[in-house]
Amino acid sequence: MFKIFQYVGEYMTKWLVVATLMGIGGGLAAVVLKFSIDFITQMSAMVPQWIAPAVGGILVSVLYLWDKNAAGFGTDKYIYAVNKKNSPLPFKMVFSKIAVTAITLGFQGSGGVEGPMLVIGGGLASGITKLRAWKNYFCDEDCRTLAICGAAGAIGAIFRSPLGGGIFVVEILYKSSLHYADLFPAMLSSTMGFVIYSMLANANPMFVIPNYLPNVWNVPSFLLAGVTAGLASLLFMWIFRKVQGFFDKLPYKRMHPFIGGLLTGIILIFLPDVAATGTNVIQEMIHGVFPIKLLLLLLAGKILATSFTVTSGGSAGLVIPALFIGAISGNFISVLMGNGEFGLSASLVIAGMAASLASIANVPIAAAIMLVEMVGLRLGVPATLGSIIGYALGHGQVIYGVTSPDHWQFEEVKQWRKSDINKKGH
């Protein structure tokens, strides 16, 4: 009995310290990325918006001469590194990924930040294990947990989601289960990342919602918003793969970010609101309804702009585009219902956002929790219902791994996402 308590005490002490430190590192990385994006966005204002993505494409192509692994959204690289033995994310990716992501989004490329944050946080683990005073204390399994903790700290910070961030980085590894050995350190790291980010940047929820409490009569409309968002997400994933196939066939791969930037810029001439992350537009859709024609144009524009940006090699994630697509879907249902109640309209938008996130990333639990933390507990019902519906519609699809330069790596990522049976590295 004494040995059991001794082991538990040593284990808890070790991971309380290590997960806390990794969370702090992830939180600091999130702060650096946020301010880097803001700084480059201000710099890019000197360039016409329609040409800015192409300029960013040229710059990231130059940086890829230093680190070609920084291309794409990065989530597939995180999944591969965590599940494949002795395959850590290089420490230099912490710096290269911050730089290329800040340039991609700062120069108006369309995308989010979750993929880069997973890689940046996971890369911090490589730096820790290379320290002479630390490396002898970590086995291969510990290094894997370190990568998860670093990613959790970064995600919990950037999305201001201390609980959902930890669940997200674990749930995204597989489609069929959560592993508690990974989950508990991840949640601690995510919480610490959020604390650091709150101290240095912004502790407020990501979105502001009207003062509204849903009732049981709203449930059918929440389900309808979830179905609409799930279908829109399936359309996004289909187009994303088609655009990826287009770039795969193009020669001169080093020019792909520039070409993707040009194509994105053409869309921005007509739909400037689909540039960068678009969180300000999501907030507008929470507080008001848009004309149906505009919503359809924004949906097409965001899908194409994100696909052009990411599949061409730009560094950006898919979570915020998923939220954007979900917000459009919820707003669309609100317009069709036409009851003019802004609180209900906001709830439909939240249901759509949760559904799209659960569908595209295959993370139903994390999607519901992250949305609640982003907007508040009052809208937990639409967030949960939307997440369930979105996952039911999209769980058969696998989008992460599509932009991997190595086909064999994509196949392994796809198998890990399909089943725990194929789990490697344990």
* Tens of pLDDT, residues 98-127: 999 999 999 999 999 998 999 999 888 877
Give me the mean pLDDT over the 192-209 stretch. Answer: 88
Give me the mean pLDDT over the 371-379 stretch. Answer: 87
Instruction: State the helix-helix crossing angle for 380-394 and 364-375, rounded to 10 degrees.
Output: 150
**Burial, 384: exposed, middle or buried (Cβ in 10 Å; 0-12, 13-18, 19+)?**
buried
Q: Are residues 164 and 241 in the same domain?
A: no
Under DSSP, the state recorded for 90 is: P
Q: For residue 104, what are the domain limits? A: 2-200
Q: Give the per-residue pLDDT at 407.
A: 40
pLDDT in tens, 298-322: 999 999 999 999 999 999 999 999 9
Domain-located, residue 13:
yes
Q: How many CB atoms lie within 10 A of CB 182?
A: 20
Q: Please give the residue that has the higher pLDDT: either 116 or 140.
A: 116
Highest mean pLDDT among 65-69, 347-351, 375-379: 347-351
Structure tokens at 159: 């999305």
Q: Are residues 196 and 232 in the same domain?
A: no
pLDDT in tens, 248-268: 888 888 899 999 999 999 999
Q: Are residues 156 and 253 in the same domain?
A: no
- Predicted confidence (pLDDT) at residue 406 exceeds the cutoff of 50: no
Distance between CA atoms of 295 and 63, rounded to whole angstroms? 36
Length of the chain in residues, anyone? 426
pLDDT in tens, 78-94: 888 888 766 678 888 99
Distance between CA atoms of 49 and 183, rounded to whole angstroms? 42
Q: Are residues 54 and 102 in the same domain?
A: yes
**Domains in the chain: how many in total?**
2
Q: Are residues 268 and 163 in the same domain?
A: no
Highest mean pLDDT among 28-42, 339-353, 375-389: 28-42
Domain-located, residue 264:
yes
Domain-located, residue 421:
no
Q: Are residues 223 and 196 in the same domain?
A: no
How high does pLDDT run on average in the chain?
85
Structure tokens at 316: 């950006």
Q: Distance of alpha carbon 260 from its chain centroid, rounded? A: 20
> Could you give the dihedral angle defined by the CA atoms of residues 33, 37, 39 and 43, in that order, rounded to the nearest 10 degrees?
150
Q: Are residues 161 and 242 in the same domain?
A: no
Residue 154 · residue 118 · CB < 8 Å: yes
Query: Residue type for 331, please?
Result: N
Distance between CA atoms of 413 and 400, rounded to whole angstroms? 8
Domain-located, residue 420:
no
Q: Are residues 57 and 141 in the same domain?
A: yes
Cα–Cα nearest to 53, from 120, 111, 96, 113: 111
Q: Give the per-residue pLDDT at 420.
A: 47
Instruction: State the CATH number of the domain containing residue 368.
Output: 1.10.3080.10
Q: Give the per-residue pLDDT at 125.
A: 81
C-alpha distances (whole Å) from 309 to each of 223, 269, 303, 375 are 31, 15, 10, 28
Domain-located, residue 26:
yes
**What confidence category does residue 339 fall into, taking pLDDT thresholds of 50, 70 and 90?**
low
- Predicted confidence (pLDDT) at residue 401 exceeds the cutoff of 60: no
